[in-house]
Structure formats: C-alpha cells, structure tokens
C-alpha cells in the first residue's frame, strides 16, 4: 500500500504535465476543429460541423501543401542520414581524439545558438547579394535563393544534431573486432558499412529520424524567412490561427496523422523497443 502511494506521489507531477497540460490542450485544439467561425467578425462559435475537414479535401491547396510538407520532412530526414552516417563512422573509428572533440563541438554548435538566429543566419547566407552568391559567383554558381531547396537545407542545418549525435554514439559502441572480422572475411569498406554498420545502427537512425521528421513537419518559421513563396502546413496554420481557428485546428490533424503513421510503421520494424 505504502509503496503504491509512493509511486503515485512520484508519478503525479509527470502525469499532471502529460495529461493535464499536454494532452488536454491538444484535445481542446482538436475539438475546435468541429466549431464554426462567424464569417463577419471571425469569432469562433462552439458547435459541431465537419465543414472544416471537408474544406481540406475540397480545396486542392490543402492537399498540395500537406504533400509538399511531407516531402520536405522526408528530404530533410534523408539528407540528415546521408550526412550523419559517414560523419559518425569517421568520428568514431578514424578521427584522432582531438579531431573527434572538435567535430563533436562543431556538430552540437548549432544547438547553442537561438533557433531564430540560425534561420536568420541562413537568410543572410542565401540572400541575393549574400555570402553564398558572392563566394560562388566566380565559379558561375548561383544559390537557390529563397525557395523550397533553401527550406530543406535550413531545416537540415537546424535538426542535423538530433540525427548526428545518436548515430555517432551508436557507431562508437560498435566493437572494433566486428570491423576486423568483416575485413578478415574479405569485405571492403562499402560492404562493411552496408552489411555490418547500417543494420546495427538502424535503431539510432530511426530514433534520429523521428526528431528530424516531426520537427520539420511542424516548422513554419523557416518557410517564412527563407522559403520565398513556399507554404508548409505550419504556414497555413499560422496564418489561419487568428482568422479561422477551426480550419487551422482541422489542418493540424494532418501532421499528427503523418507522425502517428510514421511511428506505427517504424514500430513494426521493432526499432522503437531498442531505442
């Protein structure tokens, strides 16, 4: 009995946080999706209508934006993996300790600066007369300007540490004799990475991808500052939150659905248990 009371006492605060604040506010938001907005005053009126969800299907802009956002989030995730795996192998297995320390600092450095500061830094970099264009102009290369490409690059820059750190940690934990054994059996570097390293660090990659994917899915500030006319799910929610909160709430269900589908599909691979 006493143990139970102790356990309850211990869990009270996190449960209050999770249920009371996190889940309750989400539910409140989702309930709004069934409400209506007064067309004149844009005041929200409680009620029940499916019109907001209907709008998501009737207006082709919504599905186009949802798919674009999904594509951007997937691209950011793939790009993060492509950078993190070779980097992790180099850091964990090849680099000298001092270089390893320098790289570890370099990877986590972006986490030290403010989120908005980093986005504005990218804005300055990719602006027409900015750093990128002035450096690469002699080579005849012009930057992507403010476009969807820049959005992907910026989001990758923002969320890379969330992928690189778990991947690096996982590779460091691989026993060196696995590499030796692989080499003894005649496998080259590529074969070793494909058949030994990747299967073993898969849980780390999936853990990282949950972050890069869901963080990219919900972002809108990046699209606003470096996206030119790129609209993401978040942009639409942000612009409607004052004008038509119910439709914003209805649209907010879409990224939630994406993340749930993503989590369910990676859970089937059994990766989440080993996270």
Binding site for another protein (CB under 8 A): 37-43, 55, 59-62, 64-65, 123-124, 127-130, 145-146, 224-225, 228-231, 236, 239-244, 247
Helices (H), the chain: 2-15, 24-32, 51-58, 60-89, 97-112, 115-126, 131-136, 148-172, 176-184, 189-192, 198-218, 221-226, 233-240, 245-268
User: 42 or 173, CB closer to another protein?
Assistant: 42
- Quote the least distance from Cβ 228 to another protein, whole Å: 5
Give the span between the Cα atoms of 246 and 31, in whole angstroms. Answer: 9
- Quote the least distance from Cβ 225 to another protein, whole Å: 6
CB distance 87 to 166 below 8 Å: no
User: What region, left, alpha or beta, does residue 43 occupy, with left being phi > 0 and alpha being psi -120 to 50 degrees?
Assistant: beta
CA 14, 16, 21 angle in degrees (round to 5)?
110
Give the H/E segment covering residue 64: helix 60-89
- Quote the least distance from Cβ 118 to another protein, whole Å: 16
User: 64 or 185, CB closer to another protein?
Assistant: 64
User: 205 or 224, CB closer to another protein?
Assistant: 224
- Quote the least distance from Cβ 51 to another protein, whole Å: 11
- Quote the least distance from Cβ 244 to another protein, whole Å: 6
Give the span between the Cα atoms of 3 and 13, in whole angstroms. Answer: 17
- Quote the least distance from Cβ 21 to another protein, whole Å: 19
Instruction: Provide the β-strand partners of residue 44.
Output: 37
User: 34 or 225, CB closer to another protein?
Assistant: 225
User: 110 or 145, CB closer to another protein?
Assistant: 145
User: 81 or 155, CB closer to another protein?
Assistant: 155
């Amino acid at each position: 009995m006493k143990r139970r009371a102790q356990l309850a006492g211990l869990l009270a605060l996190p449960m209050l946080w999770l249920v009371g604040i996190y889940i309750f506010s989400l539910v409140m938001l989702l309930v709004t999706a069934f409400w209506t907005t007064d067309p004149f005053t844009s005041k929200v009126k409680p009620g029940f209508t499916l019109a907001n969800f209907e709008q998501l299907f009737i207006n082709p802009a919504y599905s186009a934006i949802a798919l674009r956002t999904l594509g951007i989030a997937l691209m950011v995730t793939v790009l993060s993996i492509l950078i993190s795996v070779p980097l992790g192998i180099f850091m964990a297995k090849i680099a000298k300790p001092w270089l390893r320390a320098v790289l570890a600092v370099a990877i986590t450095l972006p986490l030290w600066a403010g989120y908005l500061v980093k986005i504005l830094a990218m804005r300055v970099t990719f602006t027409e007369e900015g750093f990128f264009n002035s450096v690469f102009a002699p080579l005849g290369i012009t930057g992507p300007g403010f476009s969807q490409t820049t959005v992907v690059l910026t989001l990758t820059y923002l969320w890379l540490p969330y992928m690189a750190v778990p991947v690096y940690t996982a590779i460091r934990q691989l026993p060196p004799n696995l590499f030796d054994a692989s080499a003894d059996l005649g496998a080259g570097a590529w074969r070793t990475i494909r058949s030994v390293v990747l299967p073993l660090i898969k849980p780390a990659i999936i853990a990282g991808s949950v972050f890069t994917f869901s963080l990219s899915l919900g972002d809108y500030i990046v699209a606003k500052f470096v996206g030119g006319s790129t609209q993401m799910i978040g942009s639409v929610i942000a612009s409607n939150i004052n004008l038509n909160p119910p439709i914003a709430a209805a649209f907010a269900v879409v990224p939630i659905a994406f993340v749930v589908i993503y989590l369910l599909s990676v859970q089937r691979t059994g990766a989440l248990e080993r996270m």
